[in-house]
Amino acid sequence: MSSNLALYIPSPHAPFSLGHAEIPEPGPHELVIKNTSVALNPLDYKIQQSSAFPVSYPYIAGVSFAGTVEKVGSALQTKFRRLDRVAAGRISSHSEPGEGVFQQYVLAHEDAVAKLDETVSLDDASAVIPSIISVVGALHVCMGLSLPDLNHTHNQNHEKKILVYGGSSTLGMRAAEYAMQAGYTVVTTSSPANRAQVSRFCPQAVAIIDHTIPVEEALVKAIVSEGPYDYIFDAIGTPATTSIVAKAVLQLNCTSSTTTTTTIWSSRPGGTEDLLGGVQRRGESYPHFVEEDEGVRRWLFEEYLPLGLTSKTISVPDIEKVGGGLGSIPGLLDRMRGGGISGKKLVVDPWETEQF
C-alpha cells in the first residue's frame, strides 16, 4: 500500500479532481478495504452540484463499494481477516475523508460492512446497497412494514396492500421486492419497456400498472381499481407523480368502504406537506434512519445482505462495468444527470485509474 488515488470535489460546485490521498488507518472497530467496485448513484452528482449537503471540502464522494479487506481494526480480529470479500455502504455524508468511496483504499465501520460468500459478485453487491439502505429506512423504520425473513418467506402480511409508484426505478423495484419478501400484497407501476425487469424483481405483484398512460384520469382510475392501500410509497417523488397518487387516494376514500392511507411516503426529502382532502406527502432522508438504528443496521449488513445475495433472493439490476477507473466517473455522472441511464447500474474499478 504505497499510494492511494482519490477523486475529490475540491470546493462547493467545483469539478471533480483526481489526486493522491492518505491511506487510512483503521480504528478498533474499523476496516481498511481495497476498493475494486464502485457503484455510481444519483447522490454522487447531487452533492457535487448542490450546496444543500453540509459536507466538508475537499470532499471524496461515493455511497457504495465492494472489495477485499486490507487492514483489520484491533477489536475485529476474530470477525474479519485480511482478504475477506466484503461490500460496504456509506450511510452518512458527514464522515471523514478516509470513508469517501471514490478512492482505492476506503475506511469502513464494521456495522456498515457485509461479508460476502465467494459465489457473490463484488459488482452485484456494490450495486444493490444504496437502494436497499433507502428502502429499509423508508418501508421499515418510517412506514412500519415488517422486516423480511429470508429463511421463512410465508405471506404473514398478505392481507395488507402496498402501492409502490414507480416500480421501474431503481428504488421502486427494490421497494416492491422488499415488500414482497416481507409478505405484503404489492401493486406497482412501470413503463412497458421496463415491465419485464419489474416482474423479475417482484414476480408476485398482483398488478403492474402502465404509468405511461397518456390520460391522467385513466392512470388514476387504474390505481383506484387495485385499491384500497394500507401503505403508499412514491419512488419517483416528483410533484406530478405525487399529484396522481393523491387524486387516487381521494377517490378511494370517497368511494370505498375501506379506508386507504392518507399518507404518501415519497422518495423526495422535505418533511411533511399537506395536500388536498387531508392527504399528506412525507419525504425524508431515509438512510439517516438506518444510520441512527444500530439494530436495523446490523440486521441489514450481517443478515439480510449476505443471505439475500448468496441465495439470490435479492435481485440484482443490469450492470454496465465501465473502464477508466476513477477518471471515468465525472463523465458517467454527467450521463446519469442527463437521463442517459435507465434500468441499470454503472460500476467502475478504482484500480483501473491511470497513474499520473
Asked whether residue 58 is assigned to any structural domain, the reply reads: yes
75 Cβ contact partners less than 8 Å away, ≥ 6 residues apart: 28, 29
> At how many degrees (to 10) do helices 329-337 and 42-49 cross?
90
Asked whether residue 172 is assigned to any structural domain, the reply reads: yes
Is 328 found in the same domain as 258?
no
Q: 54: cis peptide before it, omega within 30°?
A: no
Picking from 265, 284, 303, the residue at the C-terminal end of a domain is 284
- Cross-strand bridge partners of residue 89: 64
Is 278 found in the same domain as 162?
yes
Residue 155 has pLDDT above 60, yes or no: no
Backbone angles phi and psi of 248, in degrees to 5: -65, -40
Is 123 found in the same domain as 18?
yes
Residue 244 has pLDDT above 70, yes or no: yes
56 Cβ contact partners less than 8 Å away, ≥ 6 residues apart: none
Asked whether residue 139 is assigned to any structural domain, the reply reads: no
Asked whether residue 148 is assigned to any structural domain, the reply reads: no
State the amino acid at position 135 in one-letter form. Answer: V
Question: Mean pLDDT over all residues of the chain?
Answer: 92
Is 336 found in the same domain as 304?
yes
Asked whether residue 17 is assigned to any structural domain, the reply reads: yes
Cα end-to-end span (Å), the chain = 17
Report, as an integer, the average pLDDT of 284-301: 92
Is 57 found in the same domain as 159?
no
Q: How far is CA 102 from the centre of its chain?
A: 17
Is 87 found in the same domain as 21?
yes
Is 90 found in the same domain as 180?
no
What is the pLDDT at residue 91?
Answer: 78
Distance, in Å, from the CA atom of 65 to the CA atom of 48, rounded to the nearest integer, reads 19
- Please tell me the total count of domains within the chain: 2
C-alpha cell read off for 128: 444493490
Distance, in Å, from the CA atom of 75 to the CA atom of 111, rounded to the nearest integer, reads 13
Is 124 found in the same domain as 157?
no
Report, as an integer, the average pLDDT of 149-156: 70
Is 127 found in the same domain as 9?
yes
3-state helix/strand/coil string of 92-130? CCCCCHHHCCCECEEEEEHHHEEECCCCCCHHHHHHHHH
Is 313 found in the same domain as 263?
no
What is the pLDDT at residue 95?
Answer: 65
Picking from 260, 284, 308, the residue at the C-terminal end of a domain is 284
Cell 381499481 belongs to: 225
Residues 337 and 45 sit within 8 Å (Cβ to Cβ): yes
CB hemisphere CA count around 188 (13 angstroms): 36
What is the pLDDT at residue 151?
Answer: 78
Residues 211 and 183 sit within 8 Å (Cβ to Cβ): no
Asked whether residue 147 is assigned to any structural domain, the reply reads: no
Domain that holds residue 69: 5-132+293-352
pTM over 0.75: yes
What is the pLDDT at residue 190?
Answer: 95
Tell me the CATH number at 217: 3.40.50.720
Picking from 284, 312, 330, the residue at the C-terminal end of a domain is 284
Cell 385513466 belongs to: 218
Backbone angles phi and psi of 10, in degrees to 5: -65, -35
Query: Residue 170's closest CA among 19, 319, 35, 28?
Result: 319
What is the pLDDT at residue 264?
Answer: 96
What is the pLDDT at residue 1?
Answer: 61
Residues 249 and 230 sit within 8 Å (Cβ to Cβ): no
Tell me the CATH number at 39: 3.90.180.10
Asked whether residue 137 is assigned to any structural domain, the reply reads: no
